[in-house]
Structure formats: structure tokens, C-alpha cells
Amino acid sequence: MHSRIAGTGRYLPARVLTNDDLARQGVDTTDEWVRTRTGIRQRHVVADDEMASDLALAASRQALAAAGIAAADVDLIIVATTTPDMIFPSTACILQDKLGAHGGPAFDVQAVCSGFVYGLAIADGMVRSGAVRNALVAGAEIYSRILDWSDRKTCVLFGDGAGAVVLVPSREPGVLATRLHADGSHHAMLCVPGQVRDGAVVGSPYVHMDGQAVFKFAVRVLTEVADETLAAAALPRSAIDWLIPHQANLRIMDATARRLDIPPERVVVTVDRHANTSAASIPLALDEAVRDGRIRPGQHVMMLGVGGGFTWGSALVRWG
Ligand SMILES: CC(C)(COP(=O)(O)OP(=O)(O)OC[C@H]1O[C@@H](n2cnc3c(N)ncnc32)[C@H](O)[C@@H]1OP(=O)(O)O)[C@@H](O)C(=O)NCCC(=O)NCCS
């Protein structure tokens, strides 16, 4: 028994903020600086009444429609998010309610920007083992609420959005191999250190990051985990038809692709239009490349995540 991705979906909030908009709103930056350092041109930002579960709901409905599965028939629900609706219960339980599904397991995965590949790997294992009939894995994030908009080193990098996939059992292998890793000794390199204590936030509730350290770390581990995953599937680098790295920064993606000998035209890039949407970034890019016809049956898609923790991981999929 294997699992395969039967449908994908995505959602980006209506409000768009360009780099120039940020500069006009008082962020000490320029469009030229942000574009040349990161490839980012704009980001989407939620409305006041939108929550992560709303973003996940819109993406999930598209993924379920593409898979031909009714919302009420969804079994396992995993939401990868760093920006949950509330401290508890999980955003996955709130999504389950909004979908009108009941009874299957539902939980959140907190692996920051690697959350989607973590969720996909867990769901793959549960579908393959027969523990669940199918699985909905969504990445949904509202980073605009955890950014210090006066810190130009971080606020220009992130955005809001959601993506989702539906996994079903399959005789033919769809998900070929997954690999997950973490090294908690780097937890301070990228973090939101604040906590809620006695009714107040103690410590900073905003993203803190050592940008250059993150850059070097990300390129190294993304390359390593891609090779490790190819070895597990007994495939060469040249078998990768589409590389979908975490959409953090165009320069990280370019450097990773170069090290893996993958030409730029085989890398799916959406970061220019939605910035770094953390756990949502890989399913957002996947859905775009599936719906515009780039990803075709029989092709190999390598998804690579990296993020706070530090965490990193992969999912190698044969499409179809
Ligand atoms: C964040 C990043 C783009 C910064 O690029 P960098 O070349 O390392 O830039 P530095 O931090 O060294 O800053 C260089 C200068 O630009 C300035 N700068 C930083 N952000 C700026 C901005 N948004 N606009 C204009 N200037 C900016 C700095 O203040 C600094 O100025 P100084 O030399 O006068 O002190 C880069 O480190 C990066 O991409 N890191 C990875 C981030 C990431 O992807 N995180 C998420 C991973 S999941």
C-alpha cells in the first residue's frame, strides 16, 4: 500500500502589499533592496476577521474538489501552522468543524516553515498503514500578525496564505520517500520568543532572525536532505522533474538548485508574489504548478522544507 496526492488547493488573502506600499507606510526599505536580496515583489495580508482556519478552509475545499472527495468524508486532518487560531484547541479541529467533517483524527503540526513536509510525511505513514482512509494536509499561516512592522530586517520577508493537499491510498507509489530532521541547538536562530503567562505576553511576540546564519544553514540542509531522499528512492538527481523548495527567498532556492545540478527552469518559484508564507509556501507553489499544467503524470516532484527549530525535511512524489 502507498499513498498519492489526489488533489491540491491554495488560498491567498485579497489584500496585496507591494514593497513600494511598505516603503510608503514608513518601513525604511526600497523595492530594489527587497527584490534583489530576496526575489520578493509583494505579499498578501489577511483581513481583520480572517483566521488561519479560514485560509486553510478555502485551500482545503479546492483540494477536496480536485480529489473528488466530499468534505464530510475526510478522515485525518493535519494543519501545519505557526500562527494557530488560538492556543487550543488545534486549528485542525476548528477546520474539521468548518468543513463539516467529524470523527477522524485532527491535530496541528508545529515545525514552522517545514510544517507542511512534516505533515505530509506523517499523513503518508498513516494512509499507507491503513490507519486512516484518506488525509487532508494543509499549511496555513498569518505571519502579518507576528511581524514587527518597524523591523525592516524581518517584516519585508513574510506573508499570509494557505495551501492544501489530499492524500489517498494507492497501489502505485505516489509518495516515494520522505525524510524529516531537526536540530534544536539552533532554536534561537529564528524564533518568536514570547509566551503567554498570567494573562499577558511575556517576551517578544515578533519574529526574530539571524538572516545570514539562516541563509547558510538552509542551503546546506536542503541540499543534503534532497540527496538523502533520492538515495532512499534509488533515483539520481537528474530524475527530479520539478524542485519545490520552501519559498523563503529566491537566492536560497537558486543556490540549492545550483548545488543539486537542477536548472532554474525546473524550479517552481512563487515567492515573488506571496513572500515567505512559512508552512503554506510549498503547497501554494505545488498547487500553482499542478493547475497551470507544468506538473504532469509520471513526473518526479521534490519538495524541500526548512525552518525554525531548526527543522528540515523532504517529500519526493511521483505525480499521477
Ligand atoms: C534577510 C536577508 C535578505 C538579509 O540580506 P543580507 O545580505 O544578509 O543583509 P544584512 O542583514 O547583512 O544587511 C545588510 C544591510 O542592509 C540593511 N537592510 C536589512 N533589511 C533591509 C531592508 N528591508 N531594506 C533595506 N535595507 C535593509 C541592513 O540594515 C544592513 O545595513 P548596514 O550594512 O547599514 O547595517 C538574508 O540574510 C536572507 O535572505 N536570509 C535568509 C532569511 C530567510 O529566508 N528566513 C526564513 C527562512 S525559513
How many domains in the chain?
2
Rounded Cα–Cα distance for residues 48 and 78 (Å):
24
Shortest-distance Cα residue to atom 24 of ligand 1? 29
Q: Active-site residue among 19, 44, 93, 113? A: 113
Domain end position, chosen among 154, 172, 190: 172
What pLDDT is attached to residue 204? 98
The per-residue pLDDT for 114 is 98
Q: Are residues 230 and 279 in the same domain?
A: yes
How many whole angstroms from 31 Cα to the centroid of ligand 1?
13
Q: Are 64 and 56 in contact (CB under 8 A)?
A: no
Tell me: do 36 and 96 sit in the same domain: yes
- Per annotation, catalytic residue among 44, 208, 246, 300: 246
Point out the ligand 1 atom lying closest to the alpha carbon of residue 152: 23
Alpha-carbon separation of residue 121 from 6, 115, 124, 265 (angstroms): 15, 10, 5, 27
Q: How far is the CA of 211 from the centre of ligand 1 (A)?
A: 6
Same domain (yes/no): 307, 221? yes
Pocket of ligand 1 (CB under 6 A): 29, 33-34, 37-38, 113, 152-153, 156-157, 209, 211-212, 214-215, 218, 248-249, 252, 276, 306-307
Q: Are residues 240 and 258 in the same domain?
A: yes
Catalytic residue list contains 113: yes
At which of 172, 201, 228 does a domain end? 172
CA angle 57, 127, 299 (to 5 degrees): 80
Please give the number of the atom of ligand 1 that sits closest to the Cα of 113. Answer: 48
Asked if 316 and 176 count as a contact pair (C-beta separation under 8 A), the reply is yes
- pLDDT confidence of residue 266: 98
Nearest CA to 108 among 128, 84, 72, 127?
Answer: 84
Range of the structural domain that residue 45 is part of: 2-172
| 188 and 158, same domain (yes or no) | no
Given 115, 138, 172, the domain boundary residue is: 172
Tell me, yes or no, whether 8 and 44 share the same domain.
yes
pTM exceeds 0.85, yes or no: yes
List of the chain residues with pLDDT < 50? none
Mutation test of ligand 1: which of 29, 249, 252 has the most ligand atoms closer than 8 Å to its C-beta? 249
pLDDT at position 256 is 98
**Ligand 1 pocket mutation pick from 40, 141, 209, 212 by most atoms within 8 angstroms of CB:** 212
> What CATH number is given to the structural domain containing 82?
3.40.47.10
